Amino acid sequence: MVSPILFIVVPLAAAFLTVLVNRNAGARILALLTALTLSALAWFWFRADLSTPVSVVIAGIAPPMGIQLSMDRLSAALALLISVSGLLVILYSQSYLKSEEAQSKHYAVLLLLMAASFGILLTRDLFNLFVFYEILCISSYILVASEETKASFEASLKYLLLGSVGSLFMLVAIGLAYRVSGSLAMSDIARALGKADSSYAMLTAALFVLGMGIEAAIFPVNTWLPDAHSSAPSSISAVLSGFVIELALVVLLRISMTVFSSVNLMLPLRYMALAGILIGELAAFGQTELKRTLAYSSMGQVGLMLFALTLGTEAGRQAGMAHLVMHTGAKSVLFLIAGYFIVRTGKREIKSYSGLGRRMPLTGVLFVIAALSLVGVPPLFGFFTKFKILSAAAASGATGAWLGIAVILLGTVLEASYLFRVARTLYSDPEGENVKAVKGRMEMDVPALVAVFGFTLLVIFGSFLLPLIPSGLAL
C-alpha cells in the first residue's frame, strides 16, 4: 500500500542520509533520486481516485487524541507541483552550485524543506501543522543564508526575526483554539470556534492569519521577501518564489475557509491582496537589480492569487489555483535564468545584461517567454489564468471586485513595462564594458537548460492542464 506518509518520510530519510555523504556527487545523486521518487509518488496520487479523500492516522490513534493526515485532490495536485519543481531545481543545482562548496548540507536542507512542505499540505492537525511550519521556516532561513554573503545574512536574519514572531502568533492562536475546543484536530476546532464568542474566534483567526501570512508573504507582513528572495542562491529563490509562498497561501486559505469559517476573513484578505499587488508591482517597477525586481513581482503575484482565492466563488478559486500553477512555472524560469545571468556576468543590475540575449540566444528566448506569460500575453498560460481571474472577479459581485479589476490591470501595465524593460536590455546593443565581458560559452549548462525547459513547457502548455487543476479547499 502506498501511504501518503511516504511524502514526509522519504525526504526526511534522505536528508538524514545526505549529511553522511561526504562527496558532492553522492549528495547530488541522492537528492535527485529522492526528488524522482517523490515525483513518482505524487504522480500516483494525482492519478488516483480521490473523490473521497484518503486519510491516515498516525500510531493507530484516531483524532481528537491522535494525528490525522489526509490526501485530497488539491493536496495531490500541489504535491505533484512541489515534487516536480523540486526535481527540476535539484537538476538545475547540479551545474549551478559551485563545486567547491559542501553541497551535502545544502541538499539535506532542501529535502527537509520539501518534507515540511508536504507536511503542512497533508496534516489535519493544527499543532502538527505548526511543527512542519517550523521546519519549513528554519530550512528557508538556512537556505537564504547559504551564499554566506553579508546581504544574505542580513536577509536571513530579517526573515528569521519576522518568521519567529509569526510562529509565536501561530502558537498563541493554536493555544486559544485548543482552549475552546479541547482538541487539536482541525475539524473539531472548526466546530468549537463556530460556537465560541465571535470576538474570541476573530482574535484566534487574526493571530493565525498574521502568523501564517508571513510565510505566505501577504501584504503587511511581507517585508522580508524582497531581501530573502533576492539574496538567496537563484535555485533557492526559484523554490521560495516558486512553491513555498504559494503553498503557505493555499494552506492559509484552506484553514481560513474551514477552521475559521465562522469569521469573515475573506473581505480583509481581499483588500490586503489588493494592497499587495499595488505595492509589489510599484516597488518592482523601481528596482535596478533583476532578482529584486522578480522578488517584488512575486509580492504582487501573491496578491493576485490571494485576491482570486478570496472572491468566494468557485470560478475565483479555480482561477487562483490556475494562476498559482502558472506562477510556479514562470517565476521559476525567470529566477533560474537570472541565476545564470549573474554567474555569467558576475553582476546583478539589469543594465549590465545588455546584449546578453544575443550571446545566450536560447536562454534569452526562454526568459522572454516566461516574462510574457507572467504579464499575461496570449496564447501563453498566463493569459488564460489572468483572464479567468478578471472574469471571475467581474462575475462574483463581491465587495471590492471592480476595484480589484482596476488594480490588477494597473499592476499588469506596470509588470509589462518593467519586464519589457529587461527584455529590451537583453536584446539591445552591448555598451561599454559589457562588450568585452566573459568570452567563451555563455549559454546555460545542460542540466540547468533542461530544468528551465521543463518549467517553460508548463508556461507554454499549461492551459491544457486547466481542467485538471482542482480548487476544492475543504478539510
Partner 1 sequence: MRKLIGILLIGGFAFYLVTVGMGLFSAESRSELDSVGSEILATSPDLSGAANTVTAVVVQYRGFDTLGEVTVLFVSALGVGMLAMAIKDGLLKNLFDDNGGFVLQAGSLALLPFIVLVGLYITLHGHLSPGGGFPGGVIIATAVFVVILTSKTLSIPRGLINVMETLAGLGFLAIGFVGLYSPAQSFLANILPKGEFGSLLSAGFIPVIYAIVAIKVASELINIISKLTAADSDSKEAAE
> Contact positions toward partner 1, by CB under 8 A?
1, 3, 5, 9, 12-13, 15-17, 19-20, 22, 56-61, 64-67, 102, 105, 108-109, 112, 115, 119, 127-128, 131-132, 134-135, 138-139, 141-142, 145-146, 148, 176, 179-183, 188, 191-192, 195-197, 199-200, 203
Instruction: In angstroms, give the least distance from the CB of 100 to partner 1.
Output: 10
**Region for 400 from its dihedrals, namely left if φ exceeds 0, alpha if ψ lies in -120 to 50, beta otherwise:** left
Comparison of 79 and 374: residue with beta carbon closer to partner 1: 79
Comparison of 147 and 289: residue with beta carbon closer to partner 1: 147
Closest alpha carbon to 73 in 317, 359, 327: 317
End-to-end CA distance of the chain: 23
Instruction: In angstroms, give the least distance from the CB of 248 to partner 1.
Output: 17
Please report how many Cα atoms fall inside a 13 Å half-sphere around the Cα of residue 185, on the Cβ side: 16
The answer to whether residues 126 and 137 touch, using CB atoms and an 8 Å cutoff, is no
Comparison of 83 and 152: residue with beta carbon closer to partner 1: 152
How large is the greatest C-alpha to C-alpha distance in the chain, in angstroms?
71
Contacts of 92 (CB under 8 A, 6+ apart): 235, 238, 336, 339, 447, 448, 451, 452
| Residues facing 200 on adjacent strands | none
Which residue type occupies 306?
A: L
CB atoms within 10 A of CB 212: 27
Instruction: In angstroms, give the least distance from the CB of 113 to partner 1.
Output: 9
Comparison of 19 and 403: residue with beta carbon closer to partner 1: 19
Q: Which three cell numbers stand for residue 152?
A: 544574505
Q: Which three cell numbers stand for residue 290?
A: 533583476
Instruction: In angstroms, give the least distance from the CB of 61 to partner 1.
Output: 6
Instruction: In angstroms, give the least distance from the CB of 351 to partner 1.
Output: 31
The answer to whether residues 328 and 246 touch, using CB atoms and an 8 Å cutoff, is yes
Comparison of 228 and 444: residue with beta carbon closer to partner 1: 228
Comparison of 146 and 297: residue with beta carbon closer to partner 1: 146
Instruction: In angstroms, give the least distance from the CB of 358 to partner 1.
Output: 38
Comparison of 115 and 326: residue with beta carbon closer to partner 1: 115
| Angle, CA 435 vertex, CA 152 and CA 429 arms, to 5° | 100
Instruction: In angstroms, give the least distance from the CB of 423 to partner 1.
Output: 36
